[in-house]
């Protein structure tokens, strides 16, 4: 019995697929609808993946970020010179020939025009200590040279130099009351640092009248396991009123609001556009059933069951979904993957540069969604075909 059912399913499905050319126009409409949904869905969600990738590249488990107690980001934090020195004295911080691998840092937001639109955007101008390059895992100067301490010189992240105008080696820009000269471009494997402009901490303090104050301290620990003892020592020190994160924890918190927003928008787009694609698939499947009324009735009269009829229509819907999904996924990959853009980082209210990232997992997710659209689109027509009275269908002869 089971073998007979499978044989019937194979026979009807093969017949149905051979006749798809007769419904070419409606099939193309369904394909285009599903492909469009997948292209847009992957494009939107690739923003989330790209932003997440930037922050993931920035997070090391053995690097700690220290902020004022109660602060969730650098913008709301403040540390005194004495506090930063006390923190840097910890024996749990790694050291090199120049001392503790720690950098007390602060930043201001400066206006830089975007290359694409010419409109001003907020870009972080960060003051860093001499050890800052050693605290970024993949830091390297790729053009020009490092800034000289004590001078109004800056180096620029590769992402910022790509997205914003004027950030080229040798160019001079005016921020505040000071002219700043770009002396170098640096990379850090696509991390959030590449969206920033760096200068010496003391220079930035003087230029913006910040005094001997900082917003954060970044430190490389002796090991990832040293973080909890380091955190406990800081929170129990009566001289300090601070909290500590690993870099990974900190950037995960920073990315949460944007990734949630993009995921919500992506879900809304998927639902709204998906409804249109389902209607296109319904139209195609109903056309298929209508065109095959006599054929289905004849098969039922010959002893073919309802289950093979339902399966054949659903199979066509699934194949339409799979084909449309594959086309949409390919378009999205070649159109979006690697495209650089920038967006607002809600934690710092400044621009962060990232690349759209179309991951294999995202493509699989989109294909599953496309198949689901085809399956839903074929469900009602398949049930209609199965429930059609044989006598009614034969009267169409």
For 67-95, how does the pLDDT look when each residue is reduced to its tens digit (9 = 90+)? 999 888 888 899 999 999 999 999 999 99
Terminal-residue alpha carbon distance, the chain: 30
Spatial CA neighbour of 387 closest among 305, 282, 306: 306
Higher pLDDT, 116 or 391: 116
- Mean of the per-residue pLDDT values of the chain: 81
What is the β-pairing status of strands 153-157 and 178-187?
Answer: parallel
Q: What is the pLDDT of residue 90?
A: 93
Please report the DSSP string for 73-115 in residue order. Answer: SGGG--EEHHHHHHHHT-TTB-EETTEESEEEEEEEEEEEEBT
- Pick from 382, 369, 156: nearest CA to 267: 369
Structure tokens at 21: 């050319």
Q: Could you tell me if 247 and 59 are in contact, meaning their C-beta atoms sit under 8 angstroms apart?
A: yes
Measured CA to CA, the distance from residue 109 to residue 215 in angstroms comes to 13
Name the pLDDT band for 222 (thresholds 50, 70, 90).
very high
- Model confidence pLDDT, tens digit, residues 95-138: 999 999 999 999 999 999 988 888 888 889 999 999 999 998 88
Contacts of 60 (CB under 8 A, 6+ apart): 137, 220, 246, 247, 248
- With CA atoms as reference, report the closest residue to 350 among 195, 170, 225: 195
For residues 8-24, average pLDDT: 62
Contacts of 157 (CB under 8 A, 6+ apart): 185, 186, 187, 188, 193, 194, 195, 196, 197, 198, 353
Q: What is the pLDDT of residues 238-247, one digit of tens each?
A: 889 999 999 8
What gap in Å lies between CA 369 and CA 278, rounded to an integer?
Answer: 11
Task: Write the CB contacts of 324 (distance below 8 Å, at least 6 apart in sequence).
Answer: 30, 31, 32, 33, 34, 35, 37, 38, 277, 370, 373, 374
Residue 379 has pLDDT above 70, yes or no: yes
Q: What is the domain partition of the chain in residue ranges?
A: 2-56+255-394, 63-222
Nearest in space to 189 (alpha carbons), one of 141, 137, 128: 137
**Please, are residues 124 and 197 in contact by the beta-carbon 8 Å criterion?**
yes
The residues that bridge with 143 in the sheet, in sequence order, are 185
Question: Are 88 and 102 contacting, i.e. CB atoms less than 8 angstroms apart?
Answer: yes
Other C-beta atoms within 10 Å of 342: how many?
Answer: 21
pLDDT in the model for residue 397: 47
The residue with greater pLDDT, 20 or 82, is 82
Does the pLDDT at position 350 exceed 60?
A: no
């Amino acid at each position: 019995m089971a073998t007979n059912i499978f044989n019937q399913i194979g026979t009807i499905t093969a017949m149905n697929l051979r006749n798809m050319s007769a419904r070419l126009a409606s099939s193309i409409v369904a394909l285009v609808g599903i492909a469009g949904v997948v292209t847009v869905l992957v494009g939107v969600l690739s923003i989330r993946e790209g932003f997440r990738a930037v922050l993931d590249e920035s997070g090391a488990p053995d690097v700690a970020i220290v902020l004022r107690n109660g602060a969730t980001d650098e913008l709301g934090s403040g540390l005194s010179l004495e506090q930063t020195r006390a923190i840097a004295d910890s024996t749990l911080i790694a050291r090199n020939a120049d001392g503790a691998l720690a950098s007390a840092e602060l930043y201001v937001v400066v206006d830089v025009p975007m290359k694409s639109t010419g409109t001003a955007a907020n870009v972080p101008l960060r003051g860093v200590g001499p050890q800052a390059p050693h605290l970024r895992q993949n830091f390297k100067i790729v053009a020009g040279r490092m800034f000289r301490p004590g001078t109004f010189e800056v180096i620029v992240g590769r992402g910022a130099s790509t997205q914003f105008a004027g950030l080229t080696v040798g160019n001079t820009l005016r921020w505040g009351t000071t002219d700043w000269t770009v002396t170098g471009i640096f990379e850090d494997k696509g991390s959030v640092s590449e969206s920033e402009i760096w200068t010496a901490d003391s220079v930035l303090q003087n230029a913006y009248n910040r005094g001997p104050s900082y917003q954060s301290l970044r430190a490389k620990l002796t090991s990832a396991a040293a973080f909890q003892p380091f955190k406990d020592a800081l929170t129990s020190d009566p001289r300090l009123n601070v909290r500590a994160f690993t870099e990974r924890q900190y950037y995960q918190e920073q990315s949460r609001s944007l990734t949630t927003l993009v995921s919500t928008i992506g879900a809304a787009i998927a639902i709204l556009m998906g409804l249109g694609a389902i209607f296109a698939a319904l139209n195609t499947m109903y056309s298929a059933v209508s065109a095959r009324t006599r054929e289905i009735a004849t098969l039922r009269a010959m002893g073919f069951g309802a289950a093979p009829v339902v399966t054949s229509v659903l199979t066509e819907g699934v194949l339409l979904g799979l084909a449309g999904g594959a086309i949409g996924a390919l378009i999205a990959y070649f159109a979006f993957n690697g495209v650089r853009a920038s967006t607002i980082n809600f934690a710092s209210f400044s621009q962060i540069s990232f690349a759209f990232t179309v991951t294999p997992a995202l493509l699989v997710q989109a294909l599953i969604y496309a198949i689901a659209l085809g399956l839903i689109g074929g469900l009602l027509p398949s049930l209609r075909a199965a429930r059609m009275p044989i006598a009614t269908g034969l009267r169409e002869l």
